C-alpha cells in the first residue's frame, strides 16, 4: 500500500516533509499547496510535485504569474489519505480536514489541545497507531525528548533543568530578530518544559529560554539528576544505541553550531539538513549526582523524520516504532 500524502503549506517544514515522504517506498506525495506565487511555488513544480492553490481566492494569483495549478486544497484532499499541515500556526484548518474525512498531522507551532495527541517516534509511537489527528512537537521539544527519553528508560530521571538558547529566526527569514541583542523569556518555565510533558507527562522538567542573534541552530544546556549512579560512559553508551543522536567533538574541531552545520554540508544530504540531535561527546559530564551536557538542534529538519513515522503510525502500516524509524532513517541517509 502506498499512502497518499497531501502537504498543505509548502514552506520551511512542508517542503522538507514533502521530500522525506517522497523518499519512502510506502508513501507518496500527491500534491502540495501554497497561498502565494513565490519562488518556493516554482521550486515545488520543478521538483515534480503536483501543485495546488491553498484556496479558491489564491488560484488567480498563481494564474497571473503563469503558475499552473491542478486545483485547490479541497480537490487535493479528496484524493488524500492523510494531510500534513505545514502552514504557520493557528491557520484553523481542522474543520476543513474533518469535512474532507482525512487524517491530519500538525506541527509544533500548534497547541497540544488541537489534537490531544503530541508525538515523538521514540517516546509514544503506540499512542498514534490509527489516530486521526496528531501534532508532531516542535524542534526544541523533539530535541529534548530525543536525549531525555533514553535516559528515562535506562536510568530513570529525578529532575531536568534545561536552558534553551534559541536561534532568532530561520536563515531565510529577514523579518525576525533580535539582530543585536540577547532576549530572555521572562516567564518560567518557558513553554518547552510543559511541551515535553505533553509527550512525557511523568518527566519532572523545568526550562528557561533565551533568544540570540544566530539563524543556524538552537543550543540546549542541560543538567539532569538521574535516579541511579552512573558514569559519563554509561550515558554515552545509552545515547550511542538510541536513534537520531549524533555525537560531535570539540577535540575534532567542532566547537560551535557553525562547525556542526559546516559538517552537515559535507555530509551531502538533501538541503544539507541535519535530522539528528548533535550532542557534544566531550561536553558530556557526570559530576556528583548530576549529568551535564550540551546539544544542538537543526530547527528546520529534526522534526522531519518524526512526521514520516507519524504517518506510518496513523495509517497503521508499521506497528513497531523502531522498524518505522529504521526505514525512515535509511531512506533519509541517517546512519542507523
Ligand atoms: P513557513 O512560513 O516557512 O511556511 C509556511 C507555508 O505555509 C508557506 O509556504 C506559506 O506560503 C504557506 N501558507 C501560509 N498561509 C497558508 C494558508 N492559509 N494555507 C495554506 N498554506 C499557507 O513556516 P514553517 O516555519 O514551515 O512553520 C510551519 C509549522 O512548523 C509551524 O507550526 C511551526 O511552528 C512549525 N515548525 C517550524 C520550525 C522552523 O524552524 N521553521 C521547526 C519546527 C516546527
Instruction: Give the pLDDT confidence of 43-53 residue by residue, as tens digits.
Output: 999 999 999 99
Residue 150 beta carbon below 6 angstroms from any ligand 1 atom: no
Which of 239, 6, 206 is CA-nearest to residue 100?
6
Question: For position 1, what pLDDT does the model report?
Answer: 74
CATH superfamily of 139-297: Dihydrodipicolinate Reductase; domain 2 (3.30.360.10)
Q: Closest ligand 1 atom, CA of 107? A: 32
| Greatest alpha-carbon span in the chain | 66
Can you give the C-alpha Rg of the chain in angstroms?
20
Apex CA 247: angle with CA 246 and CA 250, to 5°? 140
The size of the chain, in residues, is 336
Residues of the chain with CATH 3.30.360.10: 139-297
The 3-state DSSP class for residue 328 equals helix
Q: What is the mean pLDDT of residues 190-196?
A: 98
| Catalytic-role residue among 5, 82, 134, 139 | 139
Q: Whose CA is nearest to atom 16 of ligand 1?
A: 87
| H-helix or E-strand spanning residue 234 | helix 232-240
Q: Is the model's pLDDT at 336 over the cut of 70?
A: no
- 94 phi and psi angles, rounded to 5 deg: -55, -45
- Expressed in angstroms and rounded, the spacing between residue 325 Cα and the centre of ligand 1 is 24
Q: What is the mean pLDDT of residues 267-295?
A: 96
Q: What is the mean pLDDT of residues 252-280?
A: 97
**Burial code of 248-267, b = ≥16 C-beta within 10 A, e = fewer?**
beeeeebeebeebbebbeee
Q: Whose CA is nearest to atom 12 of ligand 1?
A: 9
Q: How far apart are CA 90 and CA 87, in angstroms?
A: 8
Phi-psi region of 271 (alpha: psi -120 to 50; beta: other; left: phi over 0): left
CA of 52: how far to CAs of 61, 94, 97, 124, 138, in Å? Answer: 12, 19, 16, 33, 26
Residue 212, C-alpha cell as written in the block = 540570540
- Told to judge if 336 belongs to the known catalytic residues of this protein, a careful annotator would answer no
Residue corresponding to grid cell 513565490: 38
With pLDDT > 90 as the criterion, what percentage of the chain qualifies?
A: 98
Phi-psi region of 218 (alpha: psi -120 to 50; beta: other; left: phi over 0): beta
- Expressed in angstroms and rounded, the spacing between residue 85 Cα and the centre of ligand 1 is 8
Question: For position 289, what pLDDT does the model report?
Answer: 86
Q: What is the mean pLDDT of residues 144-159?
A: 98
Dihedral sign of CA atoms 265, 268, 273, 278 in order: negative
Query: For all residues of the chain together, what is the average pLDDT?
Result: 97
Q: Across the strands, what pairs with 8?
A: 33, 85
Residue 303, C-alpha cell as written in the block = 522534526
The DSSP-derived string for 150-187 is HHHHHT-EEEEEEEEEEESS-TT--S---SS--EE--S
Q: What is the mean pLDDT of residues 221-225?
A: 98
CA of 250: how far to CAs of 191, 199, 278, 280, 306, in Å? Answer: 30, 32, 12, 7, 28
The tens digit of pLDDT for each residue in 62-83 reads 999 999 999 999 999 999 999 9
Q: What is the mean pLDDT of residues 253-259?
A: 98
pTM of the model: 0.98
Confidence label for 100 from pLDDT (cuts 50, 70 and 90): very high
Residues of the chain with CATH 3.40.50.720: 3-137+303-332
Q: Closest ligand 1 atom, CA of 91? A: 18
Higher pLDDT, 278 or 288: 278
Q: How far apart are CA 86 and CA 88, in angstroms?
A: 7
Residue 34 beta carbon below 6 angstroms from any ligand 1 atom: yes
Q: Is the model's pLDDT at 183 over the cut of 80?
A: yes
Whether the Cβ atoms of residue 140 and residue 199 lie closer than 8 Å to each other: no
Question: For position 250, what pLDDT does the model report?
Answer: 98
Residue 18 beta carbon below 6 angstroms from any ligand 1 atom: no
Under 8 Å CB-to-CB from 183, ≥6 apart: which residues? 210, 211, 212
Q: Whose CA is nearest to atom 15 of ligand 1?
A: 87
CA of 117: how far to CAs of 134, 135, 201, 243, in Å? Answer: 5, 6, 12, 22
Q: Across the strands, what pairs with 7?
A: 32, 84
Candidates 1.10.10.10, 3.40.50.720, 3.30.565.10, 3.50.50.60; CATH matching 3-137+303-332: 3.40.50.720
Q: Quote the crossing angle between the two packed helices 12-22 and 304-315, to the nearest 10°.
A: 60
Q: Is the model's pLDDT at 54 over the cut of 80?
A: yes
The DSSP-derived string for 211-252 is EES-SS-EEEEEEEEESS---HHHHHHHHHTSTTEEEE-GGG
Question: For position 335, what pLDDT does the model report?
Answer: 80
With pLDDT > 70 as the criterion, what percentage of the chain qualifies?
A: 100
Q: What is the mean pLDDT of residues 7-35?
A: 98
The tens digit of pLDDT for each residue in 316-327 reads 999 999 999 999
Bridge-based pairing state of the strands 183-184 and 205-212: antiparallel
Q: What is the mean pLDDT of residues 252-273?
A: 96
- Expressed in angstroms and rounded, the spacing between residue 255 Cα and the centre of ligand 1 is 31
Residue 108, C-alpha cell as written in the block = 509544533
Amino acid at each position: 500500500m502506498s499512502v497518499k500524502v497531501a502537504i498543505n503549506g509548502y514552506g520551511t517544514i512542508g517542503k522538507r516533509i514533502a521530500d522525506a515522504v517522497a523518499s519512502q517506498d510506502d508513501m507518496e506525495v500527491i500534491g502540495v499547496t501554497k497561498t502565494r506565487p513565490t519562488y518556493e511555488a516554482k521550486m515545488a513544480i520543478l521538483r515534480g510535485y503536483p501543485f495546488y492553490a491553498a484556496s479558491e481566492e489564491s488560484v488567480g494569483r498563481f494564474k497571473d504569474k503563469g503558475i499552473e495549478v491542478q486545483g485547490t486544497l479541497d480537490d487535493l484532499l479528496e484524493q488524500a489519505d492523510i494531510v500534513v499541515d505545514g502552514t504557520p500556526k493557528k491557520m484553523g484548518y481542522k474543520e476543513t480536514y474533518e469535512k474532507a474525512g482525512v487524517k491530519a498531522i500538525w506541527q509544533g507551532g500548534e497547541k497540544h489541545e488541537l489534537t490531544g495527541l503530541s508525538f515523538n517516534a521514540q517516546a509514544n509511537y503506540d499512542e498514534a497507531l490509527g489516530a486521526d489527528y496528531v501534532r508532531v512537537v516542535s524542534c526544541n521539544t523533539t530535541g529534548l525528548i530525543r536525549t531525555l527519553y533514553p535516559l528515562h528508560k535506562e536510568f530513570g530521571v529525578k529532575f531536568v533543568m534545561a536552558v534553551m538558547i534559541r536561534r532568532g529566526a530561520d536563515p531565510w527569514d529577514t523579518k525576525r530578530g533580535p539582530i543585536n541583542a540577547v532576549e530572555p523569556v521572562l516567564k518560567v518555565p518557558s513553554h518547552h518544559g510543559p511541551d515535553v510533558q505533553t509527550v512525557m507527562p511523568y518527566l519532572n522538567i523545568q526550562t528557561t529560554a533565551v533568544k540570540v542573534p544566530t539563524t543556524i541552530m538552537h543550543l540546549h544546556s542541560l543538567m539532569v539528576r538521574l535516579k541511579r549512579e552512573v558514569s559519563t560512559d554509561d550515558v554515552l553508551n545509552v545515547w550511542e544505541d538510541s536513534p537520531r543522536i549524533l555525537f560531535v567533538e570539540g577535540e575534532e574541531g567542532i566547537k560551535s553550531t557553525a562547525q556542526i552545520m559546516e559538517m552537515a554540508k559535507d555530509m551531502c544530504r538533501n538541503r544539507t539538513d541535519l535530522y539528528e540531535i548533535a550532542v557534544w561527546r566531550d561536553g558530556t559530564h557526570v559530576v556528583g549526582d548530576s549529568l551535564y551536557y550540551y546539544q544542538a538542534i537543526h530547527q528546520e529538519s529534526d522534526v522531519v523524520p518524526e512526521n514520516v513515522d507519524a504517518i506510518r503510525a496513523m495509517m497503521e502500516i508499521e506497528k513497531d516504532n523502531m522498524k518505522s524509524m529504521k526505514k525512515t532513517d535509511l531512506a533519509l541517509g541517517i546512519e542507523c
